[in-house]
Amino acid sequence: METVVSGIRPTGNLHLGNYFGAVKNFLKMQHDANCYFFVADYHSLTTHPHPDNLNASVKQVLAENLACGLNPEICTLYVQSDLPEVAELYLLLNMLAYTGELERSVTFKEKIRKDPNNVNAGLLTYPVLMAADILIHKAAKVPVGKDQEQHLEFTRNFAVRFNHLYGVEFFPQPVAYNFGVQLVKVPGLDGSGKMGKSEAEGNAVFLIDEHDTIKKKVMRAVTDSGPTEPNQPKPEAITNIFTLMKLVSSNDTVQHFEDAYNNCTIRYGDMKKQLAEDMNIFIAPIREKIKEISSDEKYISKVVREGAEKAHESARKTVQEVRNIIGMRSF
Ligand code: TYM
């Protein structure tokens, strides 16, 4: 059976970008593959979260993923730092990662531009840690959004380099996966870029957002004064609203507004009202489930305890084999 790995940083609540970029695909794969999903708490340390906040965020993200439908009976859900083997594999892979290539990472360049006072080594070697997460279970497929594509390229490079250096066919070459189609990039509500938790306030719609909040955010989404000629190409901000609508609304609804755009009768106020309603219909059952699960600490701790045990088995085996290949053998 094929192995699948994916993860999410505990740096805020899950939003529609996380859901449609990664979680949804993971849910579709969990029945047919050997699936691991983890909360990437080591990764979140690059921004030095307060210890109390980190713990609460890990719990919340676990609850939110469970509420989306991650089934701990059939997949393995765990917290990254419960597997110290990940840290060891990270150290070993660091020897194969060149600073020059890491400095060319798009995410790294973006992070140093946004926060030039915190360019730490963890940030630079972030792709190596991510490769360790994936290779520790020898995964073949990694359901992620478009923003993670380059990280998967790094993972393949480190895997190939390891195999080549030691003359083995040990690590697979994992791919960022979306059922044979383009990886997803869910736009935000601010007119450009992607939906993200660290973007401007109001850019992201979270799975815990109440109906009122969703309405407020969507009604404030950037639009323009509307098309002036039939069948004009759409500016980015308008394309984004349509992209979001395609995720949560019916085909008929999308077609209705496409037609209205093309014959210049569109009223963005109406379109946004409809979008907010459809987002709420999509989010409401997940939101209720999040409330239910996050108040059940016993359940969450049982899930991660069992998850860590299962994940350990595979992690321990990989690291033992890697040590053996490298020549770290017992006397
Ligand atoms: P993170 O926590 O930023 O996001 C979690 C997942 O959500 C996806 N995503 C999006 N997809 C489409 N459109 C968007 N607007 C959008 N925003 C977020 C991300 O692509 C991701 O799949 N480095 C990872 C976490 C990680 C990981 C891993 C993932 C660490 N190790 C190993 C897979 C395998 C991250 O920061 O994701």
- Is the minimum distance from the CB of 22 to ligand 1 under 6 angstroms? yes
Give the pLDDT confidence score for residue 44 in this predicted structure: 97
**Which residue ranges make up each domain of the chain?**
3-184+296-326, 211-291
Picking from 133, 46, 112, 126, the residue whose alpha carbon sits closest to that of residue 319 is: 133
Averaged confidence pLDDT in the chain? 96
Calculate how far, in angstroms, residue 45's C-alpha sits from the geometric centre of ligand 1. 15
CA of 24 to the centre of ligand 1 (A): 12
- Pocket mutation for ligand 1, best pick of 3, 8, 75 (most atoms within 8 Å of C-beta): 8
What pLDDT is attached to residue 23?
98
Q: What radius of gyration do the chain's Cα atoms show? A: 21
Are the folds of 3-184+296-326 and 211-291 the same? no
Q: Is 111 annotated in the active site? A: yes
CATH node for 211-291: 1.10.240.10
Whether the Cβ atoms of residue 293 and residue 300 lie closer than 8 Å to each other: yes
- Full-model pTM: 0.96
Q: What is the pLDDT of residues 63-110, one digit of tens each?
A: 999 999 999 999 999 999 999 999 999 999 999 999 999 999 999 999
Whose Cα sits closest to atom 31 in ligand 1? 130
Determine how β-strand 175-176 pairs with β-strand 34-39: unpaired
Q: Which is the catalytic residue, given 59, 138, 141, 194?
A: 194
Active-site residue 138, yes or no? no
- pLDDT band for position 200 (50/70/90)? confident
- Looking at domain 3-184+296-326, its CATH architecture is 3-Layer(aba) Sandwich (3.40)
CA 322, CA 324: separation in Å to the nearest integer? 5
